[in-house]
């Protein structure tokens, strides 16, 4: 069975973005549920194209090198160090 590809027209995309920006939709997750939108980053792409990026979630990068000390004294610590070399 072939995978189904879903395409959204421009008005659909802009409407979802407008509803997020106006606060009618509280989150991208609620928009995904309400409109049955598949995919994890599709709405983010629409916002970048049609909206104000300030409504996108803030990105926080976790780096293993910064967190390795949290695992001192565990078996995981040595295994992590091997991968960091």
Per the structure, the count of domains in the chain is: 1
Q: How many CA atoms lie within 13 A of 51 on its CB side?
A: 22
pLDDT at residue number 66: 87
What angle, 0 to 180 degrees and rounded to 10, lies between the N-to-C axes of helices 42-50 and 28-35? Answer: 110
How large is the average pLDDT for residues 11-26?
96
Query: Is 84 within a domain?
Result: no
- pTM (2 decimals)? 0.68
Average pLDDT for 38-51: 91
Query: Domain of 30?
Result: 10-55
- State the pLDDT at residue 26: 93
pLDDT the model gives residue 57: 80
Q: In this structure, is residue 37 part of a structural domain?
A: yes
Give me the pLDDT at residue 55, please: 85
68: in domain = no
Whether the pLDDT of residue 67 is over 80: the answer is yes
């Amino acid at each position: 069975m072939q995978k189904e590809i879903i395409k959204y027209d421009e008005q659909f995309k802009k409407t979802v973005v407008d509803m997020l920006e106006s606060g009618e939709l509280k989150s991208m997750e609620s928009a995904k549920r309400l409109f049955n939108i598949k995919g994890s980053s599709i709405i983010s792409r629409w916002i970048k194209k049609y909206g104000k990026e300030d409504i996108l979630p803030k990105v926080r990068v976790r780096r293993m090198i910064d967190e390795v000390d949290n695992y001192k004294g565990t078996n995981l610590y040595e295994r992590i160090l091997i991968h960091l070399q």
